[in-house]
Structures are given as structure tokens and as C-alpha cells.
Amino acid sequence: MTDFSNKLKQLREGKGWSKTNVAKHLGVRLSTYANWEYGISEPDIETINQIATLYDVSNGYLMGNNNNGKEENETKSVDLEKDPVVLSYGGRPVSEEDMDVIKAILERHKNDRGVHYE
């Protein structure tokens, strides 16, 4: 196993998620995801970004560049309308239906209050 595959497995198990669940959220086949955890292959950089977002860690952590999973002063920006993202709350992924509700609330807030997101 590689450092990347070990971290991937630890992060998934730490959330109590199955390989099937994570593969589904990343939009890949179970066998593809399993090969990453077994160290047989590694994902492309775009997918590494998705994985980092899913587990709320830095890309550097996944790739072995630091130990704590967070980079100081790291800011993440995701456009919920354009970027595929998996949010979690209480250790569980937010469902697609709940994401639709969250997006509707943000849109209403933006329209009602004249808030401009940058």
C-alpha cells in the first residue's frame, strides 16, 4: 500500500463510510475506488481535489506533503451550482435532496437581501 492509499482508507473508515458510498459520491466505479485504496492506481488531480473536499483535508495531505490534513490559512471556494461537491454533516454525506434545499435557501437569501457572493 502507498501512503496515499493508506490515508484514503483511514479517512473513509474514520467517517464510517463504505467504499461503495464514497465511489458513488465521487462518480467512479467501485473497482476504480478500491484500486486507489489497494495502491494499484491513483486518481487524477481533479479527483484528488474532489477527495480532499470530501474529507476536508488538503491535497498536500493526501499526497504526503504534510501530516495534519490542513494547511494553515487554506481557503476553499466551491461554486455549488457548477462544482461537484459532497458536503457532510455529523459524519454523514448530505443527500442530493438536502443539497437542493441548501441551494434554494442560499438563492433566496441572495435575492431577498441583495447579498452578492464573490
What is the count of structural domains for the chain? 1
Q: Which 8-state DSSP code applies to residue 57? A: -
pLDDT mean across residues, the chain: 79
* Of 110, 107, 56, residue with least CA distance to 85: 56
Instruction: List, as own/partner pairs, every contact residues 105-112 make where C-beta atoms lie below 8 angstroms and the sequence separation is at least 24, other chains included.
Output: 106/80
Instruction: Judge whether residue 80 has pLDDT over 80.
Output: no
Range of the domain at 66: 3-113
Q: What is the pTM of this model?
A: 0.56
> What is the pLDDT at residue 2?
76
> Are residues 60 and 3 in contact, defined by beta-carbon separation less than 8 angstroms?
no
> What is the pLDDT at residue 33?
95
Contacts of 116 (CB under 8 A, 6+ apart): 110
Q: Classify residue 61: in a domain, yes or no.
A: yes
Q: Classify residue 19: in a domain, yes or no.
A: yes
**CATH code for the domain in which residue 105 is found:** 1.10.260.40
> What is the pLDDT at residue 21?
92
How far apart CA 22 and CA 38 sit, in angstroms, is 15
